[in-house]
């Protein structure tokens, strides 16, 4: 078997931005400048990096972007009042709340306060319901990015068995639904595995595609795969090491052990991450297009 093909999210994301630039130009010519409002609570370094990278991409494409920051002690009421104001602000077509929020704030209440049409994360119950029904409006960014990345490399899920490790509402559940939809590039049989699954290896060894999103470093190893499987690693784990930086980022997949077993796999970093940001931009552009 040839060496494992690296599925580069950076390459695939640039293809997305190239397509979006034409659509953005059309919108701007029609007096619409897609805009994103990002809400950031607290001083978590990772959250700040994520939001900064997202807004940086918006600005590089000439789009409107604003980050609204709050201290950790912000009340749920104040947060929802801010979102309500953004719901009525026509200069913003998308609203993003960076999670996690402080434990004192009910995240579901915050998500529900965002207009479904501006929920570019795709987390609002209305958008989740539409996806589940097979008629998606706004698709969560990471799952959407995974499907687009596979498409970029001409990996068709039709008739394939996709095993997803992780059942979160952010990645696991929605990507399993997307993979199984009767649509171009999908139409797979999907299985969700999680902490309650007995003998996960029995499932992964039968899979044509394994998507792992559990946040457990080096969990998925080569002996858990069948020859030729495609591996999508959504995990981003910060592991301490003895060097100047003090840490490195690794995924859920033990990379060395899957070489020459997996036919294709995403690296960490540089795999799914860039696609998540690209899909956020696309979701915001689509939200702006819906009012043309």
Catalytic one of 98, 118, 160, 252:
98
User: Which residue reads 């008629």 in tokens?
Assistant: 135
User: How many angstroms separate the CA atoms of 189 and 198, rounded?
Assistant: 19
Q: Is residue 98 flagged as an active site residue?
A: yes
Residues 6 or more apart in contact with residue 160 via CB below 8 angstroms: 188, 189, 208, 209
Of 227, 226, 235, the closest CA to residue 266 belongs to 235
Catalytic one of 54, 118, 144, 160:
54
Catalytic one of 118, 119, 121, 144:
121
Q: Is residue 221 flagged as an active site residue?
A: no
Q: Is residue 54 flagged as an active site residue?
A: yes
Catalytic residues: 54, 98, 121
């Amino acid at each position: 078997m040839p060496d494992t093909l690296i599925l580069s999210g950076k390459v695939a994301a640039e293809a997305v931005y190239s397509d979006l630039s034409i659509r953005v130009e059309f919108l701007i010519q029609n007096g619409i400048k897609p805009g994103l409002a990002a809400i950031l609570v607290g001083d978590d370094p990772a959250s700040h990096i994520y939001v900064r990278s997202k807004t940086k991409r918006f600005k590089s494409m000439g789009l409107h972007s604003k980050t609204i920051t709050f201290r950790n002690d912000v009340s749920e009421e104040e947060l929802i009042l801010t979102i309500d104001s953004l719901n009525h602000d026509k200069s913003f077509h998308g609203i993003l709340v960076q999670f996690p929020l402080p434990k004192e704030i009910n995240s579901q209440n915050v998500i529900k306060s965002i207009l479904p049409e501006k929920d570019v994360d795709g987390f609002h119950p209305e958008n989740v319901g539409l996806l589940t029904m097979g008629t998606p409006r706004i698709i969560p960014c990471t799952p959407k990015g995974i499907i687009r990345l596979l498409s970029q490399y001409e990996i068709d899920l039709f008739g394939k068995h996709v095993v997803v490790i992780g059942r979160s509402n952010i990645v696991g559940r929605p990507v399993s639904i997307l993979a199984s939809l009767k649509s171009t590039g999908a139409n797979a049989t999907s299985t969700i595995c999680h902490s309650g699954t007995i003998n996960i290896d029995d499932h992964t060894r039968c899979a044509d595609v394994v998507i792992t999103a559990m946040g457990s470093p080096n969990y998925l190893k080569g002996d858990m795969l069948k020859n030729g499987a495609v591996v999508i690693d959504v995990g981003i784990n910060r592991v301490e090491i003895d060097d100047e930086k003090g840490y490195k980022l690794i995924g859920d997949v033990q990379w060395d052990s899957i070489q020459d077993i997996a036919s294709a796999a995403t690296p960490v970093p540089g795999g799914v991450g860039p696609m998540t940001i690209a899909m956020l931009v696309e979701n915001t552009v689509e939200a702006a297009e819906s009012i043309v």
